[in-house]
């Protein structure tokens, strides 16, 4: 059987296809957010004591409004047979330090703000002599206001066990985060801390809060800063590899202050929570690396802080990654 070729129908179809192709070509794909380059300044100092935070990296940009923070298991996590979390005071002068946990264990008050089967949020009030900074920050959950908490913990049920995935200290603004335990490990350690918001120094770096609101439906902490403005920290994802946090700010940091800081400890390569800083710049051809204590500071679009070598201190503690820095699109046009 012979198929009849209709030249007119063919030309009409071809014309329709051409018009449709041009129409599709005119649809502009959404513009990807600009990769913002921020400044990282190193204020770290040498230290013998393995229990003092001597590493300080400040993140600065007047344009920044959004970023992502990740706590990621170290590259050697699958080689760990055993870990130790006990403090090492062997090279420390602790004659003037408060015995925080000795006192806390005697009089600690525990409170559950909110809970479901999968997640729950708890807080602890420590004795007045136990914590270095007294600062009563209201904590609001589901419209209910609670006061006087020194430590807040976010927990998750995983493999029928309670896993603490984040800890937060309202009096001075320090956060700690970790992924779920790797494979069959029973637990992993916390390591470096970070601050979110206008960082200032009062004896040591802090972020001062007016109020903290937790939204259970989105797992978001709304941070109202004493210096003005607010931030939102959302637990975006957590698994056995990493914990991912999205951070948003309402405005620039007042007074040109850092919008974030990382605090950690380094005595030696094998006695540290953070030993190496790696970063990439906007037009860089590759990653650069430097020892944390000698990191010269840099302009960067992504920053990794962690360890290549196993440490006697918190061996399983996560690496920290700061990335996806973005400004305000409306103001950047």
Q: How many residues in the chain? A: 333
Confidence of residue 330 (pLDDT cuts 50, 70, 90): low
221, 226, 228, 232 alpha-carbon torsion, rounded to 10°: -10
Distances (CA, A) of 152 to 54, 81, 127, 220: 24, 30, 15, 14
* Residue % of the chain over a pLDDT of 90: 71
Confidence (pTM): 0.86
Is 105's pLDDT higher than 70?
no
Minimum mean pLDDT among 5-14, 49-58, 292-301: which range?
5-14
Is 309's pLDDT higher than 60?
yes
Is 182's pLDDT higher than 60?
yes
- Cα(131)–Cα(287) distance, integer angstroms: 39
List CB contacts of 245: < 8 A, sequence separation 6 or more.
68, 69, 70, 177, 233, 234, 235, 236
Q: What is the mean pLDDT of residues 191-210?
A: 97
Cβ contact 212:232 at 8 Å:
no
Confidence of residue 20 (pLDDT cuts 50, 70, 90): very low
For position 50, what pLDDT does the model report?
82
- Give the residue from 132, 128, 215 showing the smallest Cα distance to 173: 132
Is 74's pLDDT higher than 70?
yes
Confidence of residue 97 (pLDDT cuts 50, 70, 90): low
159: left (phi over 0), alpha (psi -120 to 50) or beta: left
Q: How far is CA 195 from the centre of its chain?
A: 8
- Distance linking the first and last C-alpha atoms of the chain: 64
Bridge partners (DSSP) of residue 121 are 114, 154
* Residue % of the chain over a pLDDT of 70: 83
C-alpha Rg value of the chain to the nearest Å: 25
- Give the residue from 251, 231, 68 showing the smallest Cα distance to 223: 231
Distances (CA, A) of 27 to 13, 16, 21, 30, 254: 21, 17, 10, 9, 40
């Amino acid at each position: 059987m012979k198929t009849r070729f209709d030249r007119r129908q063919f030309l009409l179809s071809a014309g329709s296809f051409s018009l449709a192709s041009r129409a599709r070509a005119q649809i502009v794909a959404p513009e990807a957010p600009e990769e913002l380059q921020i400044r990282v300044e190193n204020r770290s100092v040498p230290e013998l004591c393995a229990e003092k935070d001597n590493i300080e990296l400040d993140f600065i940009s007047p344009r920044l409004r959004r970023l992502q923070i990740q706590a990621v298991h170290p590259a050697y996590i699958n080689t760990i047979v055993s870990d130790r979390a006990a403090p090492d005071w062997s090279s420390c002068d602790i004659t003037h330090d408060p015995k925080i946990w000795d006192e806390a264990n005697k009089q600690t008050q525990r409170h559950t703000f909110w809970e479901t089967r999968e997640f729950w949020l708890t807080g602890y009030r420590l004795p007045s002599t136990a914590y270095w900074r007294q600062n009563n920050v209201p904590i609001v959950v589901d419209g209910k206001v609670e006061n006087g908490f020194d430590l807040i913990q976010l927990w998750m049920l995983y493999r029928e066990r309670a896993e603490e995935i984040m800890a937060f200290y309202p009096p001075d603004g320090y956060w700690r985060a970790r992924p779920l335990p790797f494979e069959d490990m029973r637990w992993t350690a916390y390591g470096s801390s970070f601050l979110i918001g206008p960082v200032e120094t009062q004896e040591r770096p802090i972020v001062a809060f007016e109020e903290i609101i937790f939204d259970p439906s989105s797992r978001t902490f709304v941070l109202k800063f004493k210096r003005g403005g607010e931030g939102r920290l959302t637990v975006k994802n957590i698994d056995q590899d990493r914990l991912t946090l999205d951070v948003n700010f309402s405005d620039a940091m007042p007074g040109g202050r850092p919008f974030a800081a990382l605090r950690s400890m380094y005595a030696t390569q094998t006695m540290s929570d953070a030993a190496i800083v790696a970063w990439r710049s906007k037009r860089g051809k590759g990653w650069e690396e430097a020892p944390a204590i000698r990191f010269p500071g840099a302009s960067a679009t992504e920053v990794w802080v962690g360890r290549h070598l196993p440490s006697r201190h918190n061996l399983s503690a996560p690496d920290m990654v700061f990335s996806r820095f973005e400004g305000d699109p409306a103001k950047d046009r």
